[in-house]
Structure 1
Amino acid sequence: MSGGGSDSGKKCGLFELIVFVVAIVFGTACSILSKTMMSLHGEGKTGETEQFEKPIFQTFGMFLGMCFGLVMHYVVCCFRIPFPGYTHGADVINGATTTTSETTALLALKKGEDSAGQPTTPTWMYFFLAIPAIFDLGATALCMMGLRYIDVSIYQLLRGSGIIFVAIMKQHILKDHLYRFQWVGVFFNVLSVFMVGSTAILSESKKDHPDEDDNGSAGRAFLGILLVMLGALVQAMQFVFEEKVLTMDIPSPPLLLIGMEGLWGTILCLVVVYPLVYLLPGDDHGSYEDPFNTWFMFKNEPHIQIAFAVYFVAIFGYNFFAVLVTFLLNSVWHAILDNFRPITVWITDLFIFYVISTSFGEQWTVYSWIQVAGMFVLLYGTAIYNAPNAGSISLEGDWFALGLDFSPEYDSIRREELEREQDEQFKQRMLHHKMGSSFFGEIPPSLV
């Protein structure tokens, strides 16, 4: 829940929790598969065996997978399949059943549907949805450039701090003011990210780079940190923009948002990004990433094809459920979702190493206890943010509240929830009365 605005009435219930957990599963699979695909080898265009380190290709694959959202969007619309964010001129309206053509017409007029009850989307919306694709592409490019100068552990740590940008923009741009206890939840989320990231940093040995000049190394590290932080900022702009698009007066259905973002991202990769990275100097046959070499390796190596196919499904599943998280909850929850990924990836890596094969995964170290503590801090912060809903933690002066007491805010939320339920019940009674009215031309007030 949030202090107001478009989040009014939203809370993390059982259904939202299931969507959130499924998104974590797909997100974890994406990270593992991305890491696995980067470690595969295949024959390059020169005939030599090369490692398939192709970050731009994975970005392209991400957008391509998201395009499947357009297929699902039109299937949902054509077959009138019940789905979050879609209305099909249902016969049951706020508990009042009706079968008259007048009701269908009124619903179509109100919700922007045709006479058959199908959702209609203005043409400009299809072009408007290029904006989140540009944000996503910009964030990925900045983070990938920054990753060249810093360790992966620091990279993950900096990406996780993006929740701060999301919370600030949500409050000052979307005007959804967070309660003070929610800011406390955000703080613990950020703290957990730093704890998890610190374990990998502590595990790094300085002897890996004994001959490197300190000043040059510091300068490159600073540039890397700056680029990744800019990427986190742009990613936060994407999350907030997606929430805005999903809650506008003429909202974009979630599947259309995913599909169009994927379509625009695919086009931008083909006509802008790939020509650019081909011209930029690098280690891939003289280019930052050579698309011709990528295609040659992909075409001739079945293992890469299989890994990409699974990655394609996983990346669509993750983006699909992540957008649902934004729709059902808000953009801060989307950022919290991303903060769970380093921990779930770490747990999965431990499982792979000790249960499946020691050739993959990650080994337990003395610093792993910090990651365990970070996991509990993350769960603690998320439970605080979700208060006072079921399964959450309310800070009301108890020992686990660390002396913090936000009882007046919780009472205010409960009063607003009660008033909203009473108002909804009143509207249902009035609508039922209006539907039974003998005055055919009268429009129910809740449909105006």
Structure 2
Amino acid sequence: QKYSKSAIIGIVGMLIFGTGTMISAKMMMETSACPEYRENEYKDIQKWEHGECPRYLLKKFEKPWYQTFVMFAAMVFCLLGHFFDLFYNDKKAKQLAEAQARGERLDEKIDKKVKHDWKAYTYIGIPALFDMAATTIMSYGLVFIDVSIMQMLRGAMVIFCSLFNVWCLKRKIRPYQWVAVFATTVALILVGVSCILSSNSSSAKPWDEQLLGCFLVVASTAIQASQIVVEDMLLSNIAAAPLQVVGMEGAWGLVTTLAIFWPIFSFAIPGPDHGHMEDISDDFYMVADSPSLVGMTVLYFFSIMLLNWAGMIVTQQTSSVVRTIFEAVRTAFIWIVNLMIFYVFAPHSVYGEQWTTFSWIQLAGFMLLTFSSQMYSGYVKYPKVFKYVFNDQKYEKLETKDEEENLV
């Protein structure tokens, strides 16, 4: 199939910015900087200026709530794209109306205008809470595991979407899809086992922390699947443009993060970060202390914003086949880039991933995961074994709904 230039730009953009999002998120967590000086904690050490703390006090920027904050802030900026689109369409509509009044015939069309509905702005707040929980838990998991492992474990979305669609939405799953779900489960087990076995390498976390990281990522995927079900129940009959949905979800998420959850985790819940689960003041101090963290924050911000823009183009101008294949390509690209970072761009540093003996197990899991996702979507068929009926409305929504998950 031949795609337009804008579709190709969207596909390339999703690959580049999708990879940039994951890579920058992990590199941010691996970067060390000076913590904020606290007299009660460092009373035997002279107060330091930015970047001048003793080397042994440098700590990694393992700040999941900070990344959640940046993600929602980037999503809010998608509203600018939405309003620009409205302005552009209104202007083009006036030009076409004036041309028609002069008796000119034009083949140019304008996009259908989506009415602003207060329900859309209100109801989006509920999925935003699910998104916030899923993103933060996934970020906690990313602290302990490699980003390629995390990306592959997100394949559990197929499992949870299938279960929730059967239990909550009373939809049916075809027999070949259940086989694909089983194959996906086996693939995820292989990926998880490779992660735990590789814990013996010098750069990896201990096996129990690796196991915790895998569990957190799978749990966050279950929450994302729940988000899809909630969106289906709340937003299916509400007219809203794609960038409007993304932007309002970001606005709700940003407000609840800043006003409720970040303060709670920073002041009310004890933890390892200056006595808190995550110290807000220390977050911004460390970012100001490190040009690398500033650069990665900017990269993360624009990657998320542009990823949503590219995703909108791909959704509008390509088929579900492209989006399904893209997920496998993006996962492979993330893994390859991480290997190149470790062996080429920043040799044997804290950044990137190294290839171990157990990476072959991860590769086998990835290949099985790719195959199972294609089988689940019906692109890999076994007509002598399974019956394929694609005009049944009981299945139709299930085929496409889990493809509309958040791209981040």
Query: d(CA) in 1 for partners of 2:203 and 2:243?
Result: 46
Q: Is the 8 A contact 2:266 2:276 kept in 1?
A: yes
Q: Give 3-state SS (helix, strand or coil) of 1:197's partner.
A: helix
Residues 204, 73 of structure 1: alpha-carbon distance in 2 compared, 3 angstrom cutoff: same
CA-based RMSD of the aligned residues comes to 4.4
Query: d(CA) in 1 for partners of 2:354 and 2:290?
Result: 29
Q: Is the 8 A contact 1:326 1:333 kept in 2?
A: no
1:43 is aligned to 34
AA in 2 matched with 1:184: V
AA in 2 matched with 1:373: A
Q: Is the 8 A contact 1:254 1:327 kept in 2?
A: no
Deviation at 1:318, TM superposition (A): 3.4
Residues 145, 384 of structure 1: alpha-carbon distance in 2 compared, 3 angstrom cutoff: closer
Q: Give 3-state SS (helix, strand or coil) of 1:161's partner.
A: helix
AA in 2 matched with 1:201: I
Q: Give 3-state SS (helix, strand or coil) of 1:79's partner.
A: helix
Q: Is the 8 A contact 2:121 2:248 kept in 1?
A: yes
Query: d(CA) in 2 for partners of 1:178 and 1:90?
Result: 49
2:127 is aligned to 132
Deviation at 1:266, TM superposition (A): 0.7
> Which aligned pairs between 1:229-308 and structure 2 lie closer than 5 A?
229-243=218-232, 248-279=236-267, 280-308=269-297
1:75 to 61, 84, 87: 84
Q: Which runs of 5+ in 2 are unaligned?
A: 38-47, 102-110, 394-408
1:317 is aligned to 306
The alignment status of 1:54 with 2:63, answered yes or no, reads yes
Residues 205, 43 of structure 1: alpha-carbon distance in 2 compared, 3 angstrom cutoff: closer
Query: d(CA) in 1 for partners of 2:12 and 2:371?
Result: 16
Residues 69, 298 of structure 1: alpha-carbon distance in 2 compared, 3 angstrom cutoff: same
Query: d(CA) in 1 for partners of 2:71 and 2:174?
Result: 35
Query: d(CA) in 2 for partners of 1:32 and 1:206?
Result: 21
Query: d(CA) in 1 for partners of 2:167 and 2:8?
Result: 27
Q: Is the 8 A contact 2:196 2:210 kept in 1?
A: no
1:395 is aligned to 382
Query: d(CA) in 1 for partners of 2:9 and 2:329?
Result: 15
Query: d(CA) in 2 for partners of 1:346 and 1:293?
Result: 31
The alignment of Structure 1 onto Structure 2 pairs a total of residues equal to 358
Residues 274, 333 of structure 1: alpha-carbon distance in 2 compared, 3 angstrom cutoff: farther
> Which aligned pairs between 1:185-196 and structure 2 lie closer than 5 A?
185-196=180-191
Q: Is the 8 A contact 1:34 1:311 kept in 2?
A: yes
Q: Give 3-state SS (helix, strand or coil) of 1:351's partner.
A: helix
Query: d(CA) in 1 for partners of 2:173 and 2:252?
Result: 32
Q: Scaled by the length of structure 1, what TM-score is found?
A: 0.66
AA in 2 matched with 1:31: M
AA in 2 matched with 1:68: F
AA in 2 matched with 1:163: V
> Which aligned pairs between 1:272-421 and structure 2 lie closer than 5 A?
272-279=260-267, 280-321=269-310, 343-358=332-347, 359=349, 360-387=351-378, 392-397=379-384, 405-406=385-386, 408-409=387-388, 412-413=389-390
AA in 2 matched with 1:60: F
Q: Give 3-state SS (helix, strand or coil) of 1:167's partner.
A: helix
Q: Is the 8 A contact 2:199 2:210 kept in 1?
A: no
Deviation at 1:37, TM superposition (A): 1.1
Deviation at 1:128, TM superposition (A): 0.8
Deviation at 1:72, TM superposition (A): 0.7
Q: Is the 8 A contact 1:254 1:324 kept in 2?
A: no
Residues 303, 60 of structure 1: alpha-carbon distance in 2 compared, 3 angstrom cutoff: same
Residues 327, 286 of structure 1: alpha-carbon distance in 2 compared, 3 angstrom cutoff: farther
Q: Give 3-state SS (helix, strand or coil) of 2:247's partner.
A: helix
Query: d(CA) in 2 for partners of 1:230 and 1:71?
Result: 32
Deviation at 1:60, TM superposition (A): 0.4
Deviation at 1:55, TM superposition (A): 1.3
Q: Scaled by the length of structure 2, what TM-score is found?
A: 0.71
Q: Which runs of 5+ in 1 are unaligned?
A: 1-11, 82-87, 92-98, 101-115, 398-404, 418-448
Residues 282, 332 of structure 1: alpha-carbon distance in 2 compared, 3 angstrom cutoff: farther
Query: d(CA) in 2 for partners of 1:262 and 1:317?
Result: 14
Q: Is the 8 A contact 2:36 2:282 kept in 1?
A: yes
Q: Give 3-state SS (helix, strand or coil) of 1:182's partner.
A: helix
Query: Of the two, which has the highest radius of gyration?
Result: 1
Q: Is the 8 A contact 2:26 2:142 kept in 1?
A: no
The Cα offsets for residues 5-26 of structure 1, whole Å up to 9 and x where unpaired, read as xxxxxxx996889866753543
Residues 349, 283 of structure 1: alpha-carbon distance in 2 compared, 3 angstrom cutoff: same
Residues 329, 73 of structure 1: alpha-carbon distance in 2 compared, 3 angstrom cutoff: same
Q: Is the 8 A contact 1:181 1:385 kept in 2?
A: yes
Query: d(CA) in 1 for partners of 2:142 and 2:309?
Result: 26
Query: d(CA) in 1 for partners of 2:369 and 2:153?
Result: 16
1:34 is aligned to 25
> Which aligned pairs between 1:73-152 and structure 2 lie closer than 5 A?
73-80=82-89, 118-143=113-138
Deviation at 1:312, TM superposition (A): 0.3
Q: Is the 8 A contact 1:166 1:331 kept in 2?
A: no
Residues 224, 394 of structure 1: alpha-carbon distance in 2 compared, 3 angstrom cutoff: closer
The Cα offsets for residues 41-78 of structure 1, whole Å up to 9 and x where unpaired, read as 33332133443221110110010011111111111111
- Between the two structures, name the one with larger relative contact order (CA 8 Å, sep ≥ 6): 2
